[in-house]
Chain A
């Protein structure tokens, strides 16, 4: 198991009014993402706990790209990972931001 955090700067506050969502499941090849609107508007952060060690540089690249694509200001993402592939991680992160835009 490996745990680390990735911090980023956002251009704007993430849209929507939901305070929190959770999506996915910690299963083989899958991950769960908990999103909480708890950070200052121009900050974002992902906390990763992954079952597979040694892939931190790939995680950081995927998360950095995600920050650039969505600019999720104010959101803290917490991940429990069961060995998901990078594309699955991106999909879940994008999905979680979209869910935060739904009505509360």
Chain B
């Protein structure tokens, strides 16, 4: 149908998990594992009078990116905030273990995680927390087997809770302006520490603290992209070829980098204080400028690293 919006032009933030996959991968050949017709749904949600999703909010499968074989998982951030439950988590663990077990010249070139999640589903919290641990373990195994794991974040739900930890365990992280990456979400902090500690309704504050621009400038995100699906595709293709070896020296270098960062900026109360200390131009305006102007800013020393 010629009058339909062409997916590859579409905006990552607005797209569904399936639209993101369609625009990210090569046009032909995506094979979904445990598709919606299999109805691998949460067995827990009905107890809470909630309807489920036929794919439990995550699409997993195999496809090609610029001709290279990849395994991929995409969370649907609109279904229960993209949160991890038992089945949702098991699908991702299974995908990662399949990557690990098929490592080799004929195996996948990378695993792509299209994260869009508030963390663990409260309705199946124990199973969800266990899944997060298993996923982290599996990511480490995949990376140890020599396969890069890329996180792509730019959806409504961001990557919070266990999803934030999973993001940080990846070889490379790609994010757009909408992305937020953190562990305790703004509302969780406010609930526990009070509104004076953190006002979750102050969106500018939320993005200054855990938004993609702050993460990118301080090395918590490796590639900042403008928001189209095509931008994410190009960044993923470029980064697959440039992932650091996963070895002890890498981890020690990352530990050293983070210690230095904490020493240098640990007493800052807000992001502009970091930018001023780091000598970046016009620190107060970094959140407001266009993506092009932002990408022209030099990153803080040590942020562009091979140490993740």
Name B21-56 residues within 8 Å CB distance of A. 35-37, 46, 49-55
Selected contact of A1 from candidates B35, B51, B55, B76, CB within 8 Å: B51
Chain A residue, CB-CB nearest to B46: A1
Q: How large is the interface on A (under 10, 10 to 19, 20 to 34, 35 or more residues)?
A: 10 to 19
Binding site for B on A (CB under 8 A): 1, 20, 22, 25-27, 30, 32, 34, 36, 49-51, 78, 80-82, 98, 102
B299 partner residues in chain A, CB cutoff 8 A: none
Besides A22-B36, A32-B79, 7 more A-B contacts (Cβ < 8 Å) are A1-B50, A26-B79, A34-B36, A36-B37, A51-B51, A80-B53, A82-B51
Smallest beta-carbon distance B122→chain A, Å: 16
Can you list 30 A-B contacts with CB-CB less than 8 angstroms, sorted by A residue number?
A: A1-B49, A1-B50, A1-B51, A20-B35, A20-B37, A22-B36, A25-B16, A25-B53, A25-B76, A25-B79, A26-B51, A26-B52, A26-B53, A26-B78, A32-B53, A32-B54, A34-B36, A34-B37, A34-B54, A36-B37, A49-B51, A49-B52, A50-B51, A78-B54, A80-B51, A80-B52, A81-B51, A82-B51, A98-B1, A102-B1
How far is A4 from B55 in the complex, measured between Cα atoms in Å? 20
> What's the Cα separation between A82 and B53 when bound, in Å?
10
User: What is the distance, in angstroms, from B268's C-beta to the closest C-beta of chain A?
Assistant: 37
A22 and B51 form a contact (CB under 8 A): no
By beta carbon, the residue of chain B nearest A103 is B1
Interface membership of B18, Cβ < 8 A: yes
Q: Most chain-B Cβ atoms within 10 A of its Cβ — which of A27, A49, A78, A98?
A: A27
**Which residues 43-80 of B sit at the A interface, judged by CB distance below 8 A?**
46, 49-55, 76, 78-79
- The residue that A80 contacts in the complex, of B16, B35, B37, B54, with Cβ under 8 A, is B54
